[in-house]
Amino acid sequence: MKTIGLIGGMSWESSAEYYRIINEEVNRRLGGVHSAKVILYSFDFAEIEELQHRGEWEKLTQVIIDAARRLENAGAEVLLICTNTMHKMFDQVQENVKIPMIHIADATAEEIKKKGLKKVGLLGTKFTMEGDFYRKRFEKHGIETIIPSEDEREVIHRIIYDELVVGIIRDESRKKYLEIIENLKQLGAEGMVLGCTEIPLLIKQEHVDIPVFDTTRIHALKAVDFALQK
């Protein structure tokens, strides 16, 4: 079994989900008392969030590169950035480590293609929805991305940072998300990408009548595939 390196703490709520999913899946596949070999580097999210909202992406890139190198030096054999937003600097991080990294959008695109879908809605932080790092990855896989309106993006972003990253789950917020999802369906979305690792805490497949892609779970399971491959 290979050792998985997790760059987490962005937020710890979703990092805990990564850890749970990875260990449960390893145990499901191997049985007995098996669990995953994991090394976690966890940030103080307050420091990350401040830099994000100040637009200091170059500094953030160096911060993530440093964490990746620490995990590599500690013995990790594959790396995951446990947040969608920070995949903004994925390529620069990969260039600075020798071990492979798994891109959350590539892993998600593979699942979308299995469903035969060509057009999906993307929910996430404003950085994710308004950036091109998801759209460009999806385009390479032949998938078109639709994002919510500007006002809807504000709502989604606020709920993530004010509620979900601190573990607050509100029915009222779920209702707002479902209204936005319905609007994206009207624009032609055949599936919905939960492109923030906290959103699956609020929205699950049972809430939506089109395929939902839980990027946290998809990413974590892809790490298990890598760790257990012969």
Query: Considering the domain 104-214 in this protein, what is its CATH number?
Result: 3.40.50.1860
What SS3 state is found at 142?
coil
Please identify every residue annotated as catalytic: 83, 196
pLDDT at 65: 98
Average pLDDT, the chain: 96
Q: How far apart are CA 149 and CA 186, in angstroms?
A: 13
> What is the value of pTM for the model shown?
0.92
For 109-118, the pLDDT digits (tens) are 999 999 999 9
Residues (pLDDT < 50) of the chain are: none
For 52-97, the pLDDT digits (tens) are 999 999 999 999 999 999 999 999 999 999 999 999 999 999 999 9
CATH of 4-103+218-228, one of 3.40.50.1860, 1.10.10.10, 3.20.20.70, 3.30.2320.50: 3.40.50.1860
Cα-trace Rg, the chain: 17
Q: What are the residue ranges spanned by the domains of the chain?
A: 4-103+218-228, 104-214
The bridge status of strand 4-8 relative to strand 78-81 is: parallel
